[in-house]
Structure 1
Amino acid sequence: MLKDRRTHTGRETHTFSISIPKMIRETGWQLAQNQSNPLSRYTAYLNRICLDTLLPFFHEWTEEEGLEKPLKWPREEQLFQSLEFVSGTALQIGEIRIVLIPYEIEECREFVVPQEWVDCPAYCGDYYLAVAVNLDLEEQENWLKIEGFTTHQQLKTVAHHRESDRTYTMEFNALVRDLNLIDLTDNLKVREPLPDLPQIEPGEVEQLLNMLGDAALYSPRLRTDISTDKWLSLINHCSYQKKLYARKMGEDLTEKNNSTEPITLKKWLGAIAEETQKILKEGWQSFDSLFEPLEPSPVRGHLSIDRHLTEPIDSKSEAAISPIISLLEPYQKKNLRYHAAGVLGEIGRGHPEAIAALSDLLKIEKDEEMRWQAALSLGKIDPGNPISGTKKAKLIDLGLRLHAREIALIIAIIPKDEERLGVFVQVRSVNEELPTGLKLSILSETGEVIPKLEVEARSDTAGEGKDNSIQLRFTPPSGTIFQVRVTSNDREFTETFIA
C-alpha cells in the first residue's frame, strides 16, 4: 500500500499537483505528430505528458514498496496506434494495471472513461486514475493533479454507461481521493469478469477497416452505424488495430509487413534525429526502453549477452566510475571484466574516462563476448561513436497476446571492421516463457533458411515452455539482404534487413 508521502509543497498525497517539465511537453508534442489528425494529435499529446510526468512518481512508489518497476502500457509501437483511437494510457506493475485518464481541468464536470478501457480484455485495468491537466503558456502554470481513483469493479457495477459516446461516467465526488488506498500487494479482486467479445469474420474485418480507415473520420469509435460489440472486438485485436492505424496514416501495411523495403542496419549506428524518428515510427525502440536491466535466464542458441547489475551506482560520481574502469584490466577475471563493461554502459553516459576505457578495450580485445558487451555499452554512453554498437527491440504480434504473452524481436549490431557488421538476433518474452516450438530463423533474400541459423524454443518435462529467449549471432557480408522470421504454430512474422 502507498505510504504517506509528501510533495515538494509538503502536502500529503491524498490529491496533489505535479509540475509538467518542459522537456516532457516538447517530446510529447513531437511524438504526437505521428497521429493522423489535429484531434488525435492533441489527445496523444495530453496522454503522453500525463504518462511521462507520473512515471517517476510511480517508480518511487514501487521502489519503496519493493515491487516490480512500472512499465508503460501500451508499449511505444502500439501506443501510437492506441492513442489514434482511444484516450488513456496505463502503467503495468506486475499483474496490476493502473489506467491513467487525463482531462483538461476546465472542460470536464465528471470522470469519463472510454468504454474500451473497461470492456476490452486487452485494455481493462484494475485501478483508474482521474488526472486533471492544466496547460498554459506560462511555465509555472503547467501542472497535473490526480483527483482520485476508482476500480474496474466500480465502473462496471456503479458507473453510468453512456452508449451515445461509448463511455462510463462517474461523479468526481464518488472517486476515492486518498491514493494510499490503492493496494498493489494483497491481490484484491477489483476487476469484474468480462465476457468474451464476439469474433469478427475475416471478410468483415476488411469491410470495417475500409469504413473506419477514412482519414477524414476523426473519431472512428463513435461511428454509430457500427455496433459497439464490433468496434470493441476490432480495437481489442492488436493486428486489426495496427492495420486500422496504417489506413488512417495512409500507409500500405501489407507492403511494410512483407518487408519489401528492407531496413538498413548501418543507419542505426549514430542515427540522426530524423532517422531516429523513422525507426521509432516503424516500431523499433531502444532495448532499455522496453526491458529493464535483465536477470540471468535460461536461453538457447549461440550466445547470451544478457547482463545484470548488482547494485545501483551514482552515475555522476568519479569515485564510482574509476573502480569499475580498473576492473577492465587484462589481469582481471573474464567475468568481472564482462560485467564491468556492462556497468559502464549504465553509469558512464558522456563520461570521457568511461568512453576512453571502452574504446581502448575494443581496440585490443579479442574475446568475442567481451567485444559485444563493450561495443553495446559504448553505444549507450557515446551515441554515434564509430566503433560502438546499438540494440533495438520491437514488439511483434503472433496472436500470443490472447494467452497473456508479449513477444519482442531484438536486434543488436556492432561494427566488425570497416565494412561488416556483427548481428545478434533474439526473440524474448516480455512477461513469461516463450511458447513451446516458437522458432527463430535467418533466411536468405530468396527465403531459404541459412544453415545453422535456426533455433527453436524448448519445453520442460511437463510440456510447458522452458526458454525465456532464443537467439542467433552471425556476421553477414556487407550489403547482404537477409530476413528474420519468427514462427509459432500457424502464425508468422518476417522482417527484412540489409547488413
Structure 2
Amino acid sequence: MTIDLETLSLNNPTNLWLEIPESQQTKIWEQSQAFSTDNRRWMAYLNRLSSQVFLPWIKEEHAGDAKVFPNWATLPSIWEVTNGTGISFNGKKLVLIPSEALDISEIRVPQEWVDIPNWSADYYLALQVNIEENYIRILGYTSQVNLKEMGTYDASDRTYCLDKEHLISNLSILWIARQVCSEEVTKNATVPMPELSATQAENLINRLGNPQVINPRLEIPFTMWGALLEHGGWRVRLYEQRQGMQRQWSIRQWMQTGVSEFAQQFGWESVDLQPGLEGARGSTTPSGATTLIRKITISGDEYDLLVHPKGRIQDRIWRFELRRATVGEMIPVGVKLILLTEDLQPFDGNQAQARTPVERIYVDVALGEDEEGLVWKTEPTADDFEYETLYL
C-alpha cells in the first residue's frame, strides 16, 4: 500500500514520518529469522526495520557519524532478549523503542537500556511501526533524566514508563536544544553492575539458554541479568545457546576447520601468511601456518589483531599481536593490547604497550590442559568494541 507522507505530516505536523521502502521489507524479514521464538523473531524484525529506516535519515539530516550501537553483528543477541536498538552519534546515544500498537499512550523502555552503564542512553524515542501502510512515526522522545524523574518503574516487566503527554513530540527540538543548550544534562550516572565469575555466568547461560524459558530477562535479579548482558561475549553465548548452536568461538576449532560463519560477522577471518611477509614482519608462526585476524580501528587508524600459536597448537602457547594494517606504518606511543580472563580479570604479563613507535606489540599466553576463555581489548578502545570471549 502506498501512503502519502505529506498528508500524514500535515495532519500531525509535530511528528516525524518516515516511509518504509517495500523493497527492503522482504530482505529485512529474511535477516530476522535466527531467533528462538516467533515473538522474538517479530520483535527483531521491527527493530531492524526501524533502525534501517531511521539511520539513513539521521545521518543525512543531523549526524553523519551516526551508527548502531554496539554494532550490527551483536544486535541479534540483544533482540533475542529485549526490545530496543541503540544508536550513537556525536558522542551521545539514543535508543529506538518500536511498537506496532495503533494507540500508543506511553513509552515503555526496558530497564536494560536505562540501568546497564554501557547501554544507558541520553535519549529514548517512541516509534510507531505500521507495516501495512509502510511508515514509521516518531511519536516523541525523552531524556534519561526525564524518564527517571517523571516516569514510573513497572517491576512486573522491568520497564521505565512515561506517558505520551510527557514526550517531546517534535524531534527537531532535540537538535535545537543540543545547539542552544549543549551543556544540558541528559543522563545521570548509573550504578556499576556487579562482577560475575565465569562459573556463575556459565551456570546462568545454561539455565537461561533453554529456549523454553520464554522471558529470560525476568528469571533472575536484574543486577545479575545486567552483568550477564553487559559482557558481550557472555550475551552472545546466551544467544547461541538459545538457538541451539554449538559454541562458535573456539580458536582451536577455527584453526582446524576455519572461522565459524557466526564469528565472521564480527570480523574474524583466517589467513595463511606468506613466508616473505612473515619474515619481514617478525612473525613466529611456522611458514604457511594459519593465522587468525580481525580488522579493528583505533583512533581513526586501521589495525590488524592477530592470533596464532607459537610452535605447535598442542603446546598451547598463543600469541596475540597488534599491528598497523598498512605494512611499514608504526603503532604510536601509548597504544596498549590487553588480555583478560573470561570474567575480565587481569593476570601476570597480560598486556603490552608501545613505549616508542613500533611495528607491533604482542602478548604471549601459555595455557594449561583445560580450555580457557580470554578477552581482548585495546587502549584507546577500538571502534564498535564489545567484549568477545575467545576459547583456547
Alpha-carbon distance, 1:156 to partner: 1.9
Measured in 2, the distance between the counterparts of 1:221 and 1:459 equals: 42
1:429 matched residue in structure 2: 297
Alpha-carbon distance, 1:466 to partner: 8.6
Query: For the Cα contact (< 8 Å) 2:144–2:188, is it kept in 1?
Result: yes
Measured in 2, the distance between the counterparts of 1:123 and 1:41 equals: 22
Query: For the Cα contact (< 8 Å) 1:434–1:465, is it kept in 2?
Result: no
Structure 1 segment 185-334 matched on structure 2, within 5 A: 186-223=182-219, 226-253=220-247, 256-260=249-253, 279=261, 282-285=262-265
1:460 matched residue in structure 2: 333
In the superposition, relative to structure 1, how do residues 454 and 227 fare at CA in structure 2: closer, same or farther (>3 Å)? closer
TM-score, reference length from structure 1: 0.56
User: Letter of the aligned partner of 2:237 in structure 1?
Assistant: K
Alpha-carbon distance, 1:200 to partner: 2.3
Measured in 2, the distance between the counterparts of 1:446 and 1:45 equals: 42
Alpha-carbon distance, 1:461 to partner: 6.6
| CA deviation map 1:390-416 (0-9, x unaligned) | xxx62xxxxxxxxxxxxxx577899xx
TM-score, reference length from structure 2: 0.69
Alpha-carbon distance, 1:487 to partner: 5.2
2:366 matched residue in structure 1: none
| Aligned partner (choices 121, 127, 132) of residue 125 of structure 1 | 121
1:54 matched residue in structure 2: 54
Query: For the Cα contact (< 8 Å) 1:127–1:150, is it kept in 2?
Result: yes
Measured in 2, the distance between the counterparts of 1:187 and 1:263 equals: 53
Query: For the Cα contact (< 8 Å) 1:132–1:146, is it kept in 2?
Result: yes
In the superposition, relative to structure 1, how do residues 492 and 69 fare at CA in structure 2: closer, same or farther (>3 Å)? closer
Query: For the Cα contact (< 8 Å) 2:127–2:137, is it kept in 1?
Result: yes
Measured in 1, the distance between the counterparts of 2:145 and 2:85 equals: 19
Moved more, 103-112 or 164-173: 103-112
Is 1:446 the counterpart of 2:313? The answer is yes
SS of the residue corresponding to residue 102 of structure 1 reads strand
Alpha-carbon distance, 1:431 to partner: 5.8
Question: Which of 1 and 2 has greater Rg?
Answer: 1
Alpha-carbon distance, 1:55 to partner: 1.3
In the superposition, relative to structure 1, how do residues 454 and 90 fare at CA in structure 2: closer, same or farther (>3 Å)? closer
Alpha-carbon distance, 1:190 to partner: 0.4
User: Letter of the aligned partner of 1:148 in structure 2?
Assistant: G
Measured in 1, the distance between the counterparts of 2:357 and 2:125 equals: 33
Alpha-carbon distance, 1:434 to partner: 10
2:27 matched residue in structure 1: 27
1:45 matched residue in structure 2: 45
| Aligned partner (choices 152, 167, 176) of residue 168 of structure 2 | 176
In the superposition, relative to structure 1, how do residues 446 and 192 fare at CA in structure 2: closer, same or farther (>3 Å)? same
User: Letter of the aligned partner of 2:313 in structure 1?
Assistant: T
Measured in 1, the distance between the counterparts of 2:101 and 2:172 equals: 23
What is the total number of aligned residue pairs between the two structures? Answer: 326
SS of the residue corresponding to residue 235 of structure 1 reads helix
Query: For the Cα contact (< 8 Å) 2:44–2:79, is it kept in 1?
Result: yes
Cα RMSD after superposing both structures? 4.3
Alpha-carbon distance, 1:18 to partner: 1.7
Measured in 1, the distance between the counterparts of 2:242 and 2:170 equals: 40
Is 1:165 the counterpart of 2:161? The answer is no
Alpha-carbon distance, 1:429 to partner: 3.4
Is 1:78 the counterpart of 2:57? The answer is no
| Aligned partner (choices 154, 164, 187) of residue 146 of structure 2 | 154
Query: For the Cα contact (< 8 Å) 2:126–2:139, is it kept in 1?
Result: yes
User: Letter of the aligned partner of 2:67 in structure 1?
Assistant: L
User: Letter of the aligned partner of 2:173 in structure 1?
Assistant: L
Structure (1 or 2) with the greater strand fraction: 2
User: Letter of the aligned partner of 2:230 in structure 1?
Assistant: N
In the superposition, relative to structure 1, how do residues 433 and 124 fare at CA in structure 2: closer, same or farther (>3 Å)? farther
Measured in 2, the distance between the counterparts of 1:492 and 1:18 equals: 35
| Aligned partner (choices 135, 138, 145) of residue 131 of structure 2 | 135
Query: For the Cα contact (< 8 Å) 1:432–1:468, is it kept in 2?
Result: no
In the superposition, relative to structure 1, how do residues 44 and 217 fare at CA in structure 2: closer, same or farther (>3 Å)? same
Structure 1 segment 362-381 matched on structure 2, within 5 A: none
In the superposition, relative to structure 1, how do residues 426 and 85 fare at CA in structure 2: closer, same or farther (>3 Å)? closer
SS of the residue corresponding to residue 60 of structure 2 reads helix
Measured in 2, the distance between the counterparts of 1:453 and 1:256 equals: 15
Alpha-carbon distance, 1:85 to partner: 0.4
In the superposition, relative to structure 1, how do residues 167 and 77 fare at CA in structure 2: closer, same or farther (>3 Å)? same
In the superposition, relative to structure 1, how do residues 174 and 22 fare at CA in structure 2: closer, same or farther (>3 Å)? same
Alpha-carbon distance, 1:76 to partner: 2.1
Query: For the Cα contact (< 8 Å) 1:133–1:145, is it kept in 2?
Result: yes
| CA deviation map 1:121-147 (0-9, x unaligned) | 1211111110001122xxxx1211000
Measured in 1, the distance between the counterparts of 2:69 and 2:117 equals: 14
User: Letter of the aligned partner of 1:429 in structure 2?
Assistant: T
In the superposition, relative to structure 1, how do residues 145 and 423 fare at CA in structure 2: closer, same or farther (>3 Å)? same
Measured in 2, the distance between the counterparts of 1:432 and 1:466 equals: 20
Query: For the Cα contact (< 8 Å) 1:85–1:221, is it kept in 2?
Result: yes
Measured in 2, the distance between the counterparts of 1:439 and 1:207 equals: 30
Aligned-pair identity in percent equals: 24
Give the 4+ runs in structure 1 shifted more than 6 A: 410-414, 432-435, 447-450, 461-472
Query: For the Cα contact (< 8 Å) 1:118–1:152, is it kept in 2?
Result: yes
User: Letter of the aligned partner of 1:284 in structure 2?
Assistant: Q
Query: For the Cα contact (< 8 Å) 1:439–1:456, is it kept in 2?
Result: yes
In the superposition, relative to structure 1, how do residues 283 and 453 fare at CA in structure 2: closer, same or farther (>3 Å)? closer
Query: For the Cα contact (< 8 Å) 1:434–1:468, is it kept in 2?
Result: no
